Structure formats: structure tokens, C-alpha cells
Chains A and B, each alone.
Chain A
Amino acid sequence: MNDLSRALQEPWPDLATQRTGVGVGIWVFLASEILFFSALFVIYAVYRNFNAQAFAAAAKHTELLYGTLNTGLLLTSSMTMTVALRAASAQLRRLTLACLVLTILLGLSFLLCKGLEYHDDLQKDLFPGAAFPLSSPPTQLFWMLYWIMTGIHAVHLCAGIAVVTAVAVLFWRQIVPVQGSTMEGVATYWHFVDSVWLVLYPLLYLVGRS
């Protein structure tokens, strides 16, 4: 029995069209995600434009080490995801699974670091509110953006980890063949989550360092 026959779904006429179709669907969804995050970027841009000094003063307190480490983790996870995708296209099931597991572990490591970083931030009372340590009010705008931007990114990363885990299980149990259309969609989404972080990182961690 041809493995691929399980990969073809209604209403697609053939697997090639299905693959392209999944790609189109994922990218259209990513276009909407780009706009979702861009609303935050616009707010950041407007507030920073009018409060440059306050932003610089506020951003000094972000943890550069955690942020840079996290960027490295995500970049590595994008690499492992790419290898997984290439392995899937070459029908190398074990390699695909291994890389997916690595990707999941790297994603979880990111979340762990983020959690530790959030803990440190809260220790320093860097959540806008009564106990906020910085005196100039617009510094709270920066930190509001920090929490919201990294928080929403983390939610997207969790969703990505969940999807990758589910897909890995489907591949492992051979419910879905690796060379179907699933890997491309998953990989594209993962790279997108990484891309968002690549924009967040300089906005949050590299401001006011000089």
C-alpha cells in the first residue's frame, strides 16, 4: 500500500496540489499574524518616538544575557526544524523525528529561560503598577510593551510546541506519513515564531545599551 495515499485529504485532487494549498493557507495565516504583532510594533514605535529617553532608561533593566541566549536557542531550533523538514522530504522518518524532538526541547528551553527571566523581572518589581521602581511614567510604557510582547510571543511559542509535539506523535505512530503536506506548514509556522522574536529582541534588549 502506498504510504502517500493516507496523506491525501478531501477535497484535494492530488498530493502536489494539496502541498501547495497547505503552503498557501499557512502563509495567508502568517500574513494575519504579521498584522497581529504589527499592532504592537506600531504602539512601540509611537511611544518610543515620543519618549525616547524614558525608553532608553527603562530598557537598561532588561536581562541581556537571557534575551541573547533565548535568541540563540530559537535560531538553533529553526535550524533543527529545517533539517526536520528536509529529512521529511527525503522520507527519513527517524531523522525527522529526532529533529522534531530537538526542536521541542529547544522551544521548552526558551520557555524555561523566559520563566526565569520573568521571575527576575518580578523580583525587581518591573511590572507597571504601584511598586514600579522607575520614576518617569513613560518607562512604564516600555515595560508594558515588554510584558505584552514577550507574553504573546510565548503564547505563540507554546502553541507551536504543542503542534510540533502532536505532529511528532502522528509521525511516530505512523498515522501520517512524514512526506505528506504537514511538515511544511508546521515548519513555516515555527520559523515565523522565531522571526517575531528576531524583531522583538532588538526592540526590547538592545535599547539604551550605549
Chain B
Amino acid sequence: MHFLLPLFFLGTSLAQDPSSLTDVPERFRSNDLSASSHAIGEVCYGRLILPSGATCNPAALSEVEEPTFFASGAVQNGNDAYAMANDFIFQKIDSDAISKLFTSKRTQSYRGQVGLMATVRNFQASFEPYRVQFASQFDNPNYPAVALHASSERNLSFSGGTSLSLLHRHLQFISVGVKASWIERQFIHQKFTLTEAVLTPLDSLIPIESQKGVLVDASVMVIPPFFKPIALSFAVTHIGQLKPYSIYYYQPTDLALGLSFSNELTLGKVNFSVDIRDFLYANQIASVLYAGASYQIGIVEIMGGWNKNAATLGAQIGFRSVFIALAYDTYQSDLMETTANDRLSMEIRISI
């Protein structure tokens, strides 16, 4: 799998932030933590229908053919990281939890998501009661310091999208959509040394912050009547703000462009998709690009993706009501290491 590394470093070396030890890792701002989305590079506006059958682009709801209603769970990395994330996010932080940070593996990373999703033509609703991301990094054994990043989110969202053929039949190639999400977030983003951990009271050492609010995305999609495999999307994203303001989750209202090419083959279907997202305030080109490709035949979908955070390969297998998606990715550590870490994500989806 390490043949992915050159591809990965090509982009991430450009996008790396030198203050990343204390900044919230970029990947904490992911739209979707599921393995199937991760496997196509977390493309959102460039992909009309995601491998799960849901859609991230509200305007693409006009293209939904099959109603989908599923419960899903997705995890990345193993039990150790999960237990540590659980300690910091859902338990009362104690000295045992702190000591684990200094004695466990150098880098711990965990992402988990559990949700319900219902998608029909023109409408989608989702509820994610559990969406947790955790990363801890232990640096410099002689003067031990730990960077701790953890966030827990609850998310309830409703999307609606329709073709403009409602207004005039000649406008059937244009669709519009809106997505509104209610988000509640609790988070910790802190760096401290072993000495500070010993001398400082835990409440002030690791202050837990929270924010909540509504974010709205609005998109327009055009499927040219003369070449239907192509779909172009334009979106205004993150309209609104979570309160209180936090510099760790600075997501100003921005723009996104999506390009999708999908074509039915004799056997199977191919899809190529590209997103250019949040480019108004971006510093580097690589940080706004998301790309994904997939080939779906029968019960199998083979996927590949790339974005500033990771290069990914994945597969989804599913028949009738049970689906399993696996994504393997290489991503650069937030400690400016020259090596990349490997990560395996798994998602189980059960159609209801």
C-alpha cells in the first residue's frame, strides 16, 4: 500500500501548517467521517450520489432514484485509541487518563461516527448523535509534551433539492438545493508538558469548550442537456456561525465548485469527481482540492481518493440491506514528521 506515499506527499507537503502541533488538525473539519466518503477523497459537490446512496450536495437530491434509509457506524483505528478518546470526551478527566497520554504510543488517532440517514428524491434527513475525533501526539521524550485534540459533535440536518422544471420545463437541467444543519460541538485542543500536567489542576490544564448553531449550505447544479454524464455544481457553504466563536473551527462563509463525470458501462459504472472547496481564504491550491474515482459493478464498488489530508484506497461490498466499506489511507502526522501514518477505516451500514 505504500505506493500511495509519493502521491500523498505531493499534495500534503504543500498544505502542511507549521503550527500544526497546537492548531486543530485540518481533518477535524471533515464533512463526513464515513469510510465510503473517505474512500472517494471526501468529495462532496462533485459526486451526485455517494456510495452510501445519500448525497452531500443538496441540489443533487433531484437525481436520487432509489430511496435510502440506513443506520451506519464508522470507525478508524483500534480499541486503544477508542478507549483513550472515550476517557477524554465522555468521562471525567483524571490523572490516569493524563498519564496514559505520556505512556502510550507516540501518536493516537481515532474517528468514530454513528448516524441515521433517510434519503428520497428531493429530501434528505440525517441525525448523527455520535461523531468523535481524537488525536494525541507525544513528542520529545527528554522534555515530554503532548498535543491533545478531541471533538465530539451532534448533528441534525435536513436537505431539500429540486429541479427547476417546476418553474419551466426547459429549465429541467438546472437543480437547486439547500441544506441546514444544527451542530453541537464539544472540543479540547491543548498542548502541555509533563511538568504542567503534574503542577496544573486538571480543569484548567484541559478546558473543555463547546459551541452550537446552525450552518446552511446552498447549491446549484447543472447537467448539460447535450452531455449528461457531466454535472457541474456551485455552492455557497457555511452560511451562519457556531456560537461562541472559536478560532479552532474558523469556517467562514465560502464557495465550492464540483465537477462530476459518471458513465454507465456495459458492465458497471464509473465515476470521477472533483471538488474545489473553501477557496476564498485558502493559502495553497492543494488545500482546496478533493478528488475521487470509483468503479461500481454489482455488489462491489472500488474507490480511490485524494485530498490535502490523505490519499485513500477503498472498497464497498453490499447486498440488499447490509453494506461494509473499508478505506485504507496514508496521512501525514500533525507533528511534521517526514513519514506518513497508515489508517484503516471501516463502516457498516444497514438499510432499514
Q: Do A and B come from one complex?
A: no
